[in-house]
Structure 1
Amino acid sequence: MKKHNLKASVSAAAIALSLALGAQTAQAQDAVLPLPPVQQSGDVSWVSGGVPDEQLPAIQAAKRDYPLVLELYQKAGAKSEYTAGADIRIKNGKGDVLLDAKSTGPFFLVRMPPGTYHVEATLEDKAISKKGVTVPSKGSKRVVFVFPQGTD
């Protein structure tokens, strides 16, 4: 009789553990945040995010759908860390401003017509310019901005 109770107890414990692990997995999946809302200005649409970290999977998945991917970092000693709050400005070859927006995370994904653009990111009065950024008709162009330490 004791063996039967032991088997029943072990089976009940295994079921309880399985249910607990399943609930924990469901909670972890629920913790993944969706992509932030897409913004639009004329022919340019963009999304910015990556903060908190639970939003990173959505941002990483969306990168392939945007021909221009801006990444924003700030020096922190020998390393670079994600940063946010930079003003992003994109101009065409004529100098017309096509986009003037603020990043809400370290990733700024832009959908715009193929061409060559001037892209500028400014964080706390420190501007970094990238001239001659070519946005492809297929694939995407990654542009990285690294701001000096103490810029925020």
Structure 2
Amino acid sequence: MNKHNIAAGLLVLAAGLWGGAAMAQEAGPVLDVREFEGVRYITGGVGEEERNQLLASAQDFNLKLVFAEKSGDYLADVNIAIADSTGRKVLEARADGPLMLAKLPPGNYRVTAMANGREQTRRASVARTGQRSLTFYW
């Protein structure tokens, strides 16, 4: 292969990478589905585009948590612990944004959220179908 072919190949490769990066930006942020001891969850929702993307995935999860200040402003960096009816921790995570979606086995849970140095606890009954939603205000 001569120098001209190598240079042309590199230009084509660079153009492809540039175009792929531009398409990824247009598609919006990619939210990762995470897992804690077999429980799948996703968190985020900072900005309208990311929030819309997260809510588009909501049908795959049966628990939705929302975090906000009493003023109505959304809140991020909330520590979450979810325990089942026996007290066993089934999910422990930090919410990257004001929304967290989780896929839990049907049952009764204790959901604890900590933000701004204050803790709140709610009980949630999660069914096999549908979605339970809890909102925490600080």
TM norm structure 1: 0.71
Equivalent residue, structure 2, for 1:75: 70
Matches within 5 A, 1:63-142: 63-76=58-71, 80-131=72-123, 133-142=124-133
Q: State, as a whole percentage, how many aligned pairs show the same letter.
A: 28
Q: Which protein has the larger Cα radius of gyration, Structure 1 or Structure 2? A: 1
My pick for the range that moved more, 39-48 or 101-110, is 39-48
What's the C-alpha RMSD, in Å, of the aligned pairs?
1.8
Q: Distance in 2 between matches of 1:70 and 1:56?
A: 13
- 2:65 is aligned with what amino acid? L
The runs of 4+ residues in structure 1 deviating greater than 6 Å are none
In the alignment, structure 1 segments of 5+ residues that lack a partner are: 1-25, 148-152
Q: Distance in 1 between matches of 2:57 and 2:42?
A: 9
SS at match of 1:75: coil
Equivalent residue, structure 2, for 1:21: none
1:33 positional shift: 2.5
In the alignment, structure 2 segments of 5+ residues that lack a partner are: 1-21
TM norm structure 2: 0.78
1:60 positional shift: 1.3
Q: Distance in 1 between matches of 2:42 and 2:127?
A: 18
Q: Deviations over 1:39-82 (max 9, x none)?
A: 11123111100013221221111111100000111122xxx111
Q: Deviations over 1:106-138 (max 9, x none)?
A: 00000111100000110022111002x011100
Equivalent residue, structure 2, for 1:41: 36
Aligned residues: 116
**Is the 8 Å Cα contact of residues 31 and 54 (structure 1) preserved in structure 2?**
no
